[in-house]
Amino acid sequence: MAGTSISSQLKAIKDVLNVSADPEPGRRRPLTRPSVLFDAKAAADIDLDTILNIALSGLEVLISMEERFRNYKNDLFSYQSKELDRELVGQEENNRINASISSYLRLLSGYLELHSSLKTLEYLIRRYNNNRWKFLDGVKTSGARPPREVIVQQCIRDLGVLEAICNYATPAKKIQPSKHVIGFCTAVIFEVLGLVTIDNNIVKRILPYVNSGLQPGARGLNQKAGALMIVSLLAQKAALGSNVVKSLLHSVADIARVEAKERGDLQWLRMSFMTVITIVQLQSVEIIPKKTMDVLSDIRDISGILSGLTKDFNIDKFLAVFLDSLLEYSASDDLCHQTLLSIIETVPVKVYVDRIVSRLLSMSMKISQGKGTMANRFWFLSVTSIQMKSRGAFYNFLKDAKLQSKKVSSGYDFLCKILDEHLDSSQEISNPKVLFALEHSEAEIRRSAVLGLDVVNILREKANASKASYDISHNAL
């Protein structure tokens, strides 16, 4: 009995000592604690004061490298923070803490390879319970780095994780993510997009990150390259909304213009241009918006760039849409008109002659109703720049079944009137209607044209021209 009594008393004393040493009386001390520095069991035996002192030593090293870390010394890492219980403070205070932690982590992202950074993270985990994602439990237990495949799969299961990673890598005010963070985020997005069916829910979560990389003032080539790669993949795998397509087209075109103006790396210019081409060829784009066309037309030597790309890539669909857009805006925009002429002269567009002539005729006829002189000049300058036989295209236009007979007649007369004003008066046959008839595909029309020729007058005019030439030469001698 005496032995039992003594054992009971010793046990009671031990319990009292344990309770008095417990930093959280009334709670049973956990067997393990989340940690980035220590083994989970060892971390459970380290008190909060020790963790804070470790964090402050790491923070001092970070302050010596980046002064902005000092802002958090009297906030997240203050001695008063030891008494904080997030479950007892209000929502407003918790929101403030979250914002402070978020800004700190953004700043810390460029220094995560340093051991001092891990020291500060240890306190954030212990004091503010930052270890909120269950899927990382296995990593915390093993202490190994989480495989990217695990993070990618979690992003697919929970788009909130994908959004958090994108937000973490998106620049905010004066905080710029490191190249390691940008590279990691781009790789995760790329792998996620490659494994899922892309819908609007995914697109809206990654667009802020993509747009930040497409801004003219974006810092770092990694961010710009990542954004262009993601845009190309989105264009390949998803049917994007029209507003998204317009926004991406304009942003990428602006990058190309900046590269051209700054005479930067030709590879960047080609890469941004190929991204524009990818969007146009793979998305539902019939006409490129005017603002984007203004940007593209402002690019130095755009015709030379496109001519080079046609040798390396199949950009036929883009050229068709680009030419249609230039034709659409050329009648009222001199810059687009000059770009159109330059493209026709420089880029191989032979396969588009019928398309160009047909559009030119349609537009010129519309313009002629109120601005005949403008239509005349617009049509003639454009068509004469093609520098190849295009009368077959004229016939195709005039024989279009969709045109009413009255419109065909007016179109034919309008075409002949324009050519009549610009044809060289020294030609043997100056009547454009006769010229068209002589080259018509139907034999009967050619026969009628020949029978209708005034041969006597033609020969007389030719003889007079020869005599005048002889007189001029004789007088000169």
Q: State residue 179's pLDDT score.
A: 83
> What is the CB neighbour count within 10 angstroms for residue 258?
17
Which range, of 175-184, 238-247, 365-374, averages the lowest pLDDT?
Answer: 365-374
Q: Which residues contact 336 (CB under 8 A, 6 or more apart)?
A: 293, 294, 297, 326, 329, 330
Task: For the chain, give every domain's residue range.
Answer: 20-136, 349-418, 423-477
List 172's β-bridge partners, or say none: 175
Across 178-192, 272-286, 319-333, 437-451, the highest mean pLDDT is recorded for 272-286
Confidence at residue 292, expressed as pLDDT on a 0 to 100 scale: 95
Identity (one letter) of the amino acid at 43? A
pTM of the model: 0.62
Averaged over 42-51, what is the pLDDT? 87
343 within 8 A of 306, measured Cβ to Cβ:
yes
**Confidence check: pLDDT of 399 > 60:** no
Q: What is the pLDDT of residues 217-258, one digit of tens each?
A: 666 688 889 999 999 999 999 999 999 999 999 999 999 998
Look up residue 392 and give its two tokens: 């077959």
Average pLDDT value for the chain: 76
In this predicted structure, what is the pLDDT of residue 470?
A: 44
- Given this model, what pLDDT does residue 395 score? 55
